[in-house]
Structure 1
Amino acid sequence: MHILFLTDNFPPEGNAPATRTFEHAREWVKLGHKVTIITGAPNFPEGKVFEGYQNKWYQKEYIEGIEVRRVKTYITANEGFAKRILDFMSFMATSFFAGLFVKKPDVIIGTSPQFFTAVSAWALSAIRFKPFVFELRDIWPASITAVGAMGRTLPIRILEKVEMFLYRRANKIISVTHSFKSELIERGVDGNKIDVILNGVDLSKYIPVTSKDEAFAKAYDLEDKFVVGYVGTHGLAHSLDKIVDAAELVKDFTEVRVLFAGGGAAKEQVESLVKSKGLSNVVLIPRQPKSEMPKLWSLCDISLVSLKDTPLFKTVIPSKIFESMGMGLPMLMTSPGGEASEIIRKTKSGVIVPPESPEQVADAIERMYRDKELMKELSQNSVNSAVNFDREKLALLMLEKLEEVVN
């Protein structure tokens, strides 16, 4: 089978969409299938093209047997509605054109979070008479209004109509959460064509460790510290200002450090708050290559998962949950009660507190810092749960779903 996959993000970008697509495609290639990825020059989240790449009309490379075709796009940082829409629409146009020259695909997949990628995939499928699969990673554009970036204006209402058109035209929808599937069914989408394949973790790379990475620990003076780590995209959805407030409340615990590692639209806000508060217990690490992530996770004693207090985020499952499980890390989750918190609750792999509650986050940090037995129990539960989210198994499941629409 020849799978043509359109995605706005792909390695060396290290965010969740890039990682999921790459790890699935890698497994499909191992099984003898051909995978062609159409993507842009890597630039997420800062909007700066990665070293070794150029924003050219066309580039081709192979990554672990995956054919990657990169196209030119309008590049901007992950902030600002108008500029981001230009970014998305430029990829829609150039990816569609590039897709016309891919020989004999059997199925065409477009992945969100932004659905202009799916528009391009649908258009290619219509012209080439091939099945169209919509991989749904986010309920977009609802997520724009959820973070307060924009009200429900005329442009948003138009985008919602395009969104529903794509759901109806898709031969199959692959949702990353059960909540997304339920919402689509409530909105009139045929539930028989929606399958749920959760995010997961590459258990060949994310494994429990007994010590912190020496180079990172020494560079950031974390060798003998108890580290509460927020690792990943610093976005408007994550209420990281409240985590900085929590860090201020635990500043008297001399062995505790709150770590922010990554980049994104809220990165400058975090840095500014830390500076204005004069917090010496906060450590800021810039975005790292994906290959360095297990080393970065090794610094953490607790993995911090934070989401804004808005109803939409009850349906979201941050992918860092699964990487944390692979590393055997206890989690501290501060988010609206929903599918993600239910995973933590069922697996007993972390402590859950209400969203945007600095005082309760601080209390939970203190409790976990003091209670070694609790930490040991949560860590073991995290390790035990990771096998249920093995990316290799999930890739095989998705392949089965693709074969259903091809055969």
Structure 2
Amino acid sequence: MHIAVVNQHHHNPDCPATCRHYTFLAQLALRHRVSLVASDGWRRTRITDTYSWAPTGVELHECPVPYANSMGVVQRLKSFIGFAMAAFRKAMQLQTPDVLWAVSTPLSTAWVVAQVARLRGVPWVFEVQDLWPSFPIQMGAVKNSLLQKRLYRMEKRLYRSASHIITLSPDMTEYVVSLGISPDKITTNYNGTDLALAAAVQPEEMAELRHTYKLQHKKVVLYAGTYGRANDIPTLLQTIEAMAANLSITFVLAGSGYYESQLQALAQRVPNLLLLPPQPRPEIFKWFKLADLSLITFNDLPVLQTNSPAKFYDSLACGTPVIVTNPGWTKRFVEQHGCGWYVPAEQSQALAQGIVQALAQPQELEAAGARGAAISRQLFDRQQLVKEVEAVLEQVVR
């Protein structure tokens, strides 16, 4: 089977990113021909040079289109349009695939794949990583009401056009069904994590980190991810400042993004905040293993309740319980499986209280971590999740 994948946001494990598709494509390339149409925008985020940029066996067709999380709305729009145009040309030049696979976001990637699929007479699969256009609209990036309506109509047409839809959370699936799409056409495939990277972390590596950063006898609360406008970083700032006198707790934040300068200023004022640069994928698992608790924070917006954050899966795989602030499926999940706690979004006092209460129960903290690790092995192993995606692709081709 010849699988053609179109993904503007391709990464490899040298980057500070989830790398879901790197793992998936590495496995699929063992059994199928895989062509990847991607931008080169994330090459500059490589921190190490350990991995090949595309997995062995994957044919890379790269589009020179810049992208960065620091871009504003206009710059991002130019990047999306630029990639759409370049990806259309690349995809039309490929030897005819058996199936096209669109990794969205942005929605423009799915639109391009739908056009190529129609022109070349092949089926296509729509992987929904975030709900667009709901996300940019609710974040205030698309204010024109006429444009909003057009984007929603395009979204619905794309769902209908796709031969199959893959979503990354049950709440995304529920949303797509609410638009009149048959549940039989949708597969929920969790974002998942790389269990082998979690298992590879050695105790001496964690001990070295504790020594290097003077974390002996400290409770470590970790936030690892983007400091973006959707991540409720202002609440995190307020929480850390309010807990500055509690020197038994150290907040470790690893990432970059919009609120980086405010976090750097806070780190100069409080003694228990450690800011780290973005970490390559193998390194971030060491921090998740070391941490006593990790935070998965997002703004209080309906669209963000559906998301499928990589740090949620990575933390649980490392046996580190989580505090989530989404009242959607992640809240239901941690409560059902006893692997974390829920605190309402945008409430710094409640978040501080939740952190203190969780850390005050070391036995329950350890038990919650063990439950999280167990459910990760059962549900979140990307080596198993890719088989489900492979089955979808094969079904569509048949």
TM-score normalised by length of structure 1: 0.89
Match of 1:25 in 2: 25
Q: Is the 8 A contact 1:173 1:194 kept in 2?
A: yes
Query: Residue 287 of structure 1: which of 278, 281, 289 is its match?
Result: 278
Query: Residue 184 of structure 1: which of 172, 176, 187 is its match?
Result: 176
Q: Extract unaligned runs of 5+ from structure 2.
A: none
Q: Is structure 2 residue 96 aligned with structure 1 residue 104?
A: yes
Q: Extract unaligned runs of 5+ from structure 1.
A: 54-59
Measured in 2, the distance between the counterparts of 1:294 and 1:310 equals 29
State the AA in 2 paired with 1:242. Answer: T
SS of residue paired to 2:342:
strand
Match of 1:253 in 2: 246
- Number of positions where the alignment pairs a residue of Structure 1 with one of Structure 2: 392
Q: Is the 8 A contact 1:106 1:406 kept in 2?
A: yes
Q: Is the 8 A contact 1:79 1:265 kept in 2?
A: no
Match of 1:39 in 2: 38
Q: 1:385 to 1:265 in 2, by over 3 A?
A: same
Provide the aligned C-alpha RMSD in A: 2.3
State the AA in 2 paired with 1:120. Answer: V
Q: Is structure 2 residue 314 aligned with structure 1 residue 312?
A: no
Q: 1:269 to 1:34 in 2, by over 3 A?
A: farther
Structure 1 range deviating more: 257-266 or 341-350? 257-266
Q: 1:404 to 1:145 in 2, by over 3 A?
A: same
How far is the alpha carbon of 1:255 from its aligned partner?
A: 2.0
SS of residue paired to 2:95:
coil
How far is the alpha carbon of 1:61 from its aligned partner?
A: 6.2
How far is the alpha carbon of 1:140 from its aligned partner?
A: 0.7
Q: 1:9 to 1:370 in 2, by over 3 A?
A: same
User: Residues 261-276 of structure 1 correspond to what in structure 2 (within 5 A)?
Assistant: 261-275=254-268
Q: 1:287 to 1:61 in 2, by over 3 A?
A: closer
Match of 1:147 in 2: 139
TM-score normalised by length of structure 2: 0.91
Q: Is the 8 A contact 1:308 1:356 kept in 2?
A: yes
Measured in 2, the distance between the counterparts of 1:225 and 1:292 equals 20
Match of 1:400 in 2: 391
Measured in 1, the distance between the counterparts of 2:328 and 2:47 equals 39
Measured in 2, the distance between the counterparts of 1:354 and 1:234 equals 19
State the AA in 1 paired with 2:11. Answer: P
Q: Is the 8 A contact 2:17 2:280 kept in 1?
A: no
Measured in 1, the distance between the counterparts of 2:10 and 2:114 equals 20
Measured in 2, the distance between the counterparts of 1:282 and 1:156 equals 40
Match of 2:4 in 1: 4
Structure 1 range deviating more: 356-365 or 67-76? 67-76
Query: Residue 389 of structure 1: which of 380, 385, 394 is its match?
Result: 380
How far is the alpha carbon of 1:279 from its aligned partner?
A: 1.7
Identity %: 24
SS of residue paired to 1:36:
strand
Q: 1:255 to 1:141 in 2, by over 3 A?
A: same
